[in-house]
Amino acid sequence: MVLDRPEVTEGAEGAAPKGRGPRRTGVRLGLMAVPLAFFGLFFAYPVAAIVTRGLKTDGRWRFGRIGEVLTDPATGHVLWFTTWQAAASTALTLLLALPGAYVMARFDFPGKGLLRAVVTVPFVLPTVVAGSAFLALLGRRGLLDELWGVRLDTSVWAILLAHVFFNYAVVVRTVGGLWAQLDPRQEEAARMLGAGRFAAWRRITLPALAPAVAAAALMVFLFTFTSFGAVQILGGPRYATLEVEIYRQTAEMLDLPTAAVLTLVQFAAVAALLLVHAWTVRRRESTLRLVDARRTARRPRGAAQWGLLAAVLASVAVLILLPLAVLVLRSFDGPDGYGLAFYRALASAGDDGVLGVAPLETIGNSLAYGLAATAIAVVVGGLAAAALTRREGRLVRGFDALLMLPLGTSAVTVGFGFLIALDEPPLDLRTSWILVPLAQALVGVPFVVRTMLPVLRAVDPRLREAAAVLGASPLRVWREVDLPMVGRALAVAAGFAFAVSLGEFGATVFIARPDNPTLPVAVARLLGRPGELNYGQAMALSTILMLVCAAALLVLERVRTDRTGEF
């Protein structure tokens, strides 16, 4: 019997790489030129420069320093703390967020879109703001302190909870997004074949979900491993991650060699993590057959499911809404009772000269920098995604991983590296405003690529062929077939790039000119000063930033109906 199987698939797979190989590779290299130049100049070069500065004195390499720093018990202590707090944060996040992922994926209830936006707010919120939110909840004069005299701000619990707060959305989006697209009929088929409810879940859904869970866990581990702002604010003198230690060594101890070695250690750890991540992502992409997410969700049924929904809502309320609410509350809790005193104070520079400018002006700075950074990230990331659309080739895979590196590299190193490396002609950018958006775009590009790539890869190549046969040139094919399909993903990607640029702190704190700080930098400086007014202003500024981020996210939720991206 002749099998009715389309022949063209195999043709399409095998055809292209053989077909116009050299020309295709040429086009791809052309597309990659801009991203490669960008990462070379503004990532590899500054990082290399600062490592060189640290390890080279009087023109001689001092590799002995590496051994010295590595064997220093203090380094071991930092490395141990960094690793175990990341592992603990990851485990805690998974424990709390996986039920949330299930509820979002399989249940249909009023306010689901709002809930999804709410849990995502912390992810794009500047770490500094989140740190201040937890300080307002757990710290000195915090809510718990006033109610029960409990203070957690110098304990590791504050750090762990803050990390859950940040990364809840990573798990819900990565795992829940996939879970919603798994065909429930697969589980039903298993049930029909005699598997119990749990057995069906364990044998069918769990294996399908496992790579996504692993990928989410790795992302959370990566983010918490390199955590800076939250640990800086909540950790006190006792707790420091590698990133915080790099900052201390660079900015406070002025011990560049140690900072350089720590940077290399973090770099190696992150590179290893990314390799594992790339591997799990590839496995996930290749194997699953997905259905429309809108068809898989339904109303909860029975006490158990309603109970689960209630528990998830309660945990979101405590973990995410409460810190945000306390932050807002504090911003209104002025010296003369509740009012707008702190907000009014934002309009003037103040007399102690903490910022040198009116705090309100930093909002304008942040928005301007954020827009510029978004433009850069969209161009660079968009070109990279276009180049990476076709999956084959070792080159592509390497580039894929390379794009994620900035997410895990010490932002402090990058920031300080900018100052050291980009200070000579022809690249003397020290006094240029573009320095800040460039550094922020480094963090935005991975988000743009990660959002656009799955959509671009989902475009049926034969659609492009159909357009070509109808007389469309390659450029026109891209404009008329690809662009309309990724337009929405592009908007989402731009939104995320904007939000992370807005919140970037580690690099910006180094390179923002003192008279032109961004909002997160201003918050950190205000928090670093004593006095109720400074504290209150920090809370008020954070509230404003939070509202801007939340508004951006709600708009994105409207735009984003397909959930194929990772974030």
Say if CB 49 and CB 415 are below 8 A apart.
no
Closest approach, Cβ 122 to another protein, in A, equals 34
Closest approach, Cβ 26 to another protein, in A, equals 14
Closest approach, Cβ 5 to another protein, in A, equals 5
- CB-nearer residue toward another protein: 316 or 467: 467
- CB-nearer residue toward another protein: 20 or 202: 20
Tokens 């052309």 correspond to what residue? 30
- CB-nearer residue toward another protein: 149 or 484: 484
**CA distance to 8, 180, 564, per residue, from 292 (Å):** 25, 8, 10
DSSP letter at 24 equals: H
- CB-nearer residue toward another protein: 12 or 396: 12
Say if CB 407 and CB 422 are below 8 A apart.
no
Closest approach, Cβ 176 to another protein, in A, equals 26
Closest approach, Cβ 21 to another protein, in A, equals 9
The C-alpha atoms of residue 213 and residue 230 are separated, in whole angstroms, by 24
- CB-nearer residue toward another protein: 19 or 149: 19
Q: Position 369: which residue type?
A: Y
Closest approach, Cβ 492 to another protein, in A, equals 17
- CB-nearer residue toward another protein: 251 or 472: 472
- CB-nearer residue toward another protein: 470 or 547: 470
Closest approach, Cβ 23 to another protein, in A, equals 9
Mutual angle of helices 532-559 and 127-138, in 10-degree steps: 120
Closest approach, Cβ 369 to another protein, in A, equals 34
Give ∠ CA 395-285-440 in degrees, rounded to 5. Answer: 60
- CB-nearer residue toward another protein: 480 or 532: 480
Extract the tokens encoding 490: 């592009």
Residues 6+ apart with CB under 8 A from 545: 125, 126, 129, 363, 366, 502, 503, 519, 520, 523
Closest approach, Cβ 560 to another protein, in A, equals 16
The C-alpha atoms of residue 321 and residue 313 are separated, in whole angstroms, by 10
**CA distance to 201, 293, 304, 424, per residue, from 311 (Å):** 21, 23, 10, 57
Closest approach, Cβ 172 to another protein, in A, equals 29
DSSP 437-495: HHHHHHHHHHHHHHHHHHHHHHS-HHHHHHHHHTT--HHHHIIIIIHHHHHHHHHHHHH
Look at residues 433, 469, 340, 449 and name the one whose alpha carbon lies nearest to residue 399. 449
Burial class of residue 271 (count of CB atoms within 10 Å of its CB; 0-12, 13-18, 19+): middle
Task: Give the number of residues written for the chain.
Answer: 567
- CB-nearer residue toward another protein: 20 or 294: 20
Residues 6+ apart with CB under 8 A from 374: 441, 444, 494, 497, 498, 501
- CB-nearer residue toward another protein: 7 or 146: 7
Structural element, H or E, at residue 337: strand 337-338
Closest approach, Cβ 183 to another protein, in A, equals 20
- CB-nearer residue toward another protein: 303 or 469: 469
**Could you count the other beta carbons within 10 Å of the beta carbon of residue 456?**
18
Site residues, another protein (CB under 8 A): 2-8, 10-11, 14-15, 18-20, 460, 462-463, 465-474, 476, 480-481, 484-485
